[in-house]
Amino acid sequence: TNAEGTDHLVILILIVGLFSLLAKELPLGRLPGDISVKGEKYSFYFPIVTCIVISIIVSLFFKFFK
């Protein structure tokens, strides 16, 4: 029902909040495979591997709490 979906969303927000507090110690955003290009007047950073890892974690969360 809709209440279950809301409960899952609240739990996910709490997990993300707690995870963000601990994220400073984890290498997320600096994983091998993240793209970083630095020029003389510009820099470009795209954390592709970090995005994939976060996507897998969120997908597994929703799979188990379906």
Q: Please tell me the number of Cα atoms within 13 Å of 64 on its side-chain side.
A: 7
Residues in the chain: 66
pLDDT attached to residue 43:
93
pLDDT attached to residue 14:
85
pLDDT (tens digit per residue) in 6-47: 777 888 788 877 777 776 677 766 788 889 999 999 999 988
Contact between 36 and 50 under an 8 Å Cβ cutoff? The reply is no
| Global confidence as pTM | 0.58
pLDDT attached to residue 38:
93
